[in-house]
Amino acid sequence: MDQLQDAKTRISNAQTESEQAKLKISHLEKQIKTDEPRAKKARDQNMSALKELESHRIEGTRLENELQNLDWNEDTEQANLSRKAELQAMINELHEAPFFHQNLRQILTLCIRIQRQTSIGVKSKVSLLSYSLWIRKSSKLLLLLKYVQVVVVENEVIGTQLLEKGKLRKRVTIIPLNRISAFRASAEKIDSAHQLAPGKVDLALSLVGYDSEVSAAMEYVFGSTLICADADTAKTVTFNPSVRLKSVTLEGDVYDPSGTLSGGSSVSTSGLLVHLQKLNKVTREINIYKREFDAIERQMNMDQEKNTEAKTLKKQLDLKRHELRLTEEQINSNSHSKAFEDMKKRIGELKLVMIEAKNKGDDASKDVRKIEKDMNEFKNNKDGKLKELQKELDDLKASILKQSTNVKDCKREFQTIQLEAEQLGADLGAAQEQLDDANSTLQIQQSELQSLHKDHSKIKDQYDFINAEMESERAKMISFDDELKSLEEASRQKNSEITESGLELQKLRHEVEKFHKELQGVESLLVQMEREHEWIGDEKSNFGRQGTPYYFANQNISECKNNLKSLTERFKGLQKKVNAKVMNMIDSVEKKESSLKTMLKTVRRDKRKIEETISTLDEYKKEALQRTWEKVNGDFGQIFAELLPGNFAKLEAPEGKNISDGLEVRVCLGKVWKQSLTELSGGQRSLIALALIMSLLQFKPAPMYILDEVDAALDLSHTQNIGRLIKTRFKGSQFIVVSLKEGMFSNANRIYRTRFMDGTSVVMQ
């Protein structure tokens, strides 16, 4: 019954909505009839605007078609411009990078000195081999650097002039191309070398690249030299009868088949080839960027005319769209026409509402008829209807059973997730155990670290040796600094000249580009003005014609020229006072200033660290010297007292000084302190010397000592004391003592005698 009542309610609501829509439509139609004359008048007024609107649409469509036919994409053009600017920035960054100039300065050092002799007229006939050489395979082949500073000249006359007037500051090798005979090892010898040491030997010429103009010099230098991985390989291939070629190892050792070997420290110019490799790498990157930059520039030049035309069309299209929008706003601003159209639109919407209400009423009527039919069937055929309802109930139960199965599956999945959570908990416990093990390991490592700290004190004893080496290196560094300053001064002058020339060239290029751009801008502006202002094309023939507004003969040309001249002179005067290049230079100068500040900060920080290290090492030296003096002084006094009972000796600093200034020996015989060792007898001085030597040996015991007749100047009792001292104080060392006195024999573990027998010396135990 509720369903029937609901359906009837829906029918009533649909009928109400339909009646309301009819009333609204009737009212709007009456309003339309009333307002139609005014709306017609408004439409007549908008007719010209509508025609103009249609004209704008047609013109806009035409411009869009022309723009599409040009196949122009504004995003592509912007992407090309962005990529071009990015490539230019990357090229400038690589050119201005500090490491680029540093590597270039290192390579140009020798070449700059050679090229200063341009006055002798041979500059174009001299080539530095380092410009034509680069490593092809392994950066370890720095041993080839010994050949880098080879100067190739056209003939021996040029070489002689270069030696006499070139003012070379370093030793170089000069190769005249007309005198050398290029030699390259035969393929048979190279194959034999490869068979003797596969993968460990190569011809030096095959490991480097070079320009064709110096190929003869390269074959002369590298054509008969083998590069070997190690010394054994070099020995094998050099002295083999089927090879017999000069070999050089990666460590720089040279093996000559004539039997001579050379090696030792590496060449002092080992950094030049590294700088050359870095410069080649940067140069290749710059060339890659330049090629891409040139390709983009060529494409942009090819598309320049199309881009100009497309931009003009796009500008016209934007203008037409703007005009179209203004016309539409003008048409829509007419209130009578707009209200008339709104009422028509509202009538259409109300008609749709009536149709929708009618559909709702029809659906509700169908539901009423169906419900009434079911009620009649239930009254007439109660059992059949119950069976039908029972069937629907069974279907619902089956659906419930199916849903129960799904619920069980969800429960099983939930249980699985619970098991996984428990497993994760167990894994977490295992991870906690691993963490505990790691903590235990950390404690063990901390104890090992403490042991290492204890061992660290032993390393301090090496300070004396390190200090001596440091002083030697300081002396070398001072000489290197002097040479480096002279080289940097020469390089700085050349760099200044190059920079000035580069700035002048860049200024000229900028002026040329500026003139081209201004010319293109003026031409495009003329074309654009003619397109934007149609009257220019119509009135162009009247320009300069008398009796027209465009007659310019009345202008005072002389006065204009005088004004131009005065302005030009003023500009020239200001040009002398104002640096026009300052804006172009400011970026590079600021970057250079920032780089120099960073470098200065780094140098000061390194200086501070070095001074702190030196201060720390001085403290280590003083502490080590103090401990050594305390230990040696104590042992010295005890040993002297054992050798000469009832007496004492010690080491102490001179009055008013410390132990770093030196030590002197003070001896007490009985209760009297001697002022000098000259007051002692020869035997007593010998005992003093032996006691001092023994105390020094006991500070750092060695496994074995050899003493040759140290008791020669001593009597028997003192000899026995020395033997007993060696036996008791040096239990961890062995002594080989040469002696002729019985007092020493009594304390020896083994005694060996020498005697002359049958013309030969014999050693007997």
The answer for 196, left when phi > 0, alpha when psi is -120 to 50, beta otherwise, is alpha
Nearest Cα to Cα of residue 143 among 256, 253, 279, 262: 253
- Of these ranges, 82-91, 389-398, 594-603, the one predicted with the greatest mean pLDDT is 594-603
Please answer whether residues 246 and 231 qualify as being in contact, where contact means their C-beta atoms are separated by less than 8 angstroms.
no
CATH topology of domain 701-765: Rossmann fold (3.40.50)
Residues, the chain: 765
Beta bridge partners of 760: 757
Phi, psi of 673 (to 5 degrees): -90, 125
Cα 329 from chain centroid?
Answer: 59
Q: How far is CA 277 from CA 112, 136, 139, 289, 678, in A?
A: 19, 10, 9, 19, 68
The mean per-residue pLDDT over the stretch 458-469 comes to: 73
- Of these ranges, 96-110, 458-472, 501-515, the one predicted with the greatest mean pLDDT is 501-515
Other C-beta atoms closer than 10 Å to the C-beta of 750 total 6
Nearest Cα to Cα of residue 202 among 228, 241, 224: 228
pLDDT band at 159 (very low <50, low <70, confident <90, very high): confident
Cα 263 from chain centroid?
Answer: 37
What span, in angstroms and rounded, lies between the C-alpha atoms of 367 and 541? 86
Least confident interval from 29-43, 210-224, 562-576? 29-43
Phi, psi of 272 (to 5 degrees): -65, -45
Q: 575-581 contacts: CB < 8 A, separation 24 or more?
A: 581/503, 581/507
Q: Dihedral through CA 595, CA 597, CA 599, CA 601, nearest 10? A: -150
**What pLDDT is recorded for position 359?**
78
What span, in angstroms and rounded, lies between the C-alpha atoms of 290 and 91? 8
Beta strands in 204-279 (DSSP E): 208-209, 225-228, 246-249, 254-255, 261-262
What pairing do the DSSP bridges indicate for beta strands 246-249 and 225-228?
A: parallel
Find all residues with CB under 8 Å of 614, minimum gap 6, and list them. none
Residue with tokens 């030793």: 171
Based on DSSP, count helices (H) and strands (E) in the chain, helices before strands.
Answer: 18, 17
**What pLDDT is recorded for position 443?**
78
Please give the single-letter amino acid code of residue 591: K
What span, in angstroms and rounded, lies between the C-alpha atoms of 253 and 28? 111
Residue with tokens 């390709």: 295
DSSP summary character for residue 154: S
Domain spans in the chain, listed from the N-terminal domain onward: 1-120+276-380, 121-275, 388-444, 701-765
Beta strands in 198-354 (DSSP E): 201-203, 208-209, 225-228, 246-249, 254-255, 261-262
What does pTM read for this prediction? 0.28
- Strands laid side by side in the 254-255 sheet: 201-203, 225-228, 246-249, 254-255, 261-262
What span, in angstroms and rounded, lies between the C-alpha atoms of 32 and 28? 6
**3-state DSSP assignment of residue 155:** coil
What span, in angstroms and rounded, lies between the C-alpha atoms of 373 and 3? 13
What span, in angstroms and rounded, lies between the C-alpha atoms of 376 and 368? 12
Least confident interval from 114-128, 301-315, 509-523, 613-627? 114-128
DSSP summary character for residue 258: T
Per residue in 656-677, pLDDT (tens digit) is 888 888 888 888 888 888 888 8
pLDDT band at 609 (very low <50, low <70, confident <90, very high): very high
What span, in angstroms and rounded, lies between the C-alpha atoms of 504 and 506? 5
The mean per-residue pLDDT over the stretch 495-517 comes to: 82
Percent of the chain clearing pLDDT 90 (strictly above): 2
Q: Dihedral sign for Cα 707, 708, 709, 714, please.
A: negative
**What pLDDT is recorded for position 147?**
46
Exposure string over 107-121, b if 16+ CB within 10 A, otherwise e:
bbbbbbbbeebeeee
- Taking the alpha carbons at both ends of the chain, their separation in whole angstroms is 139
Per residue in 348-380, pLDDT (tens digit) is 777 777 777 777 777 777 777 776 676 676 666
Please answer whether residues 87 and 292 qualify as being in contact, where contact means their C-beta atoms are separated by less than 8 angstroms.
yes
Which one has a higher pLDDT value, 341 or 758?
758
pLDDT at 260 over 70: yes
DSSP letters spanning 634-665? HHHHHHHHHHSTTEEEEEEPPTT--GGG--EE
pLDDT at 45 over 60: no
Q: How far is CA 436 from CA 189, 422, 442, 443, 656, in A?
A: 66, 21, 10, 11, 60
What span, in angstroms and rounded, lies between the C-alpha atoms of 92 and 71? 34
Tokens for 658, please give them: 């410390």
The mean per-residue pLDDT over the stretch 616-620 comes to: 89
Least confident interval from 73-77, 212-216, 416-420, 672-676? 73-77
Tokens for 652, please give them: 């102490």
Please answer whether residues 343 and 31 qualify as being in contact, where contact means their C-beta atoms are separated by less than 8 angstroms.
yes
Find all residues with CB under 8 Å of 306, minimum gap 6, and list them. 70, 72
The alpha-helical segments, DSSP class H, found in 70-120 are 74-96, 98-115
Beta bridge partners of 754: 763
Other C-beta atoms closer than 10 Å to the C-beta of 7 total 20
Cα 106 from chain centroid?
Answer: 21
**What pLDDT is recorded for position 374?**
67
**What pLDDT is recorded for position 679?**
82
Least confident interval from 277-281, 422-426, 558-562? 277-281
What span, in angstroms and rounded, lies between the C-alpha atoms of 169 and 110? 9
Beta strands in 300-434 (DSSP E): none
Element at 176 (helix H, strand E): strand 173-176
Nearest Cα to Cα of residue 155 among 119, 129, 126: 126
Indicate the burial class of 158 (C-beta count within 10 angstroms; 0-12, 13-18, 19 or more): buried
pLDDT at 131 over 50: no
**What pLDDT is recorded for position 74?**
67
Phi, psi of 249 (to 5 degrees): -85, 170
Please answer whether residues 228 and 234 qualify as being in contact, where contact means their C-beta atoms are separated by less than 8 angstroms.
yes
- Of these ranges, 76-85, 242-251, 432-441, the one predicted with the greatest mean pLDDT is 242-251
Phi, psi of 257 (to 5 degrees): -65, -15
- Of these ranges, 102-111, 268-277, 334-343, the one predicted with the greatest mean pLDDT is 334-343
**What pLDDT is recorded for position 143?**
43
Indicate the CATH number for domain 121-275: 3.30.70.1620
Please give the single-letter amino acid code of residue 470: M
**What pLDDT is recorded for position 3?**
62
When the pLDDT of each residue in the chain is averaged and rounded to a whole number, the result is 75
pLDDT at 122 over 60: no
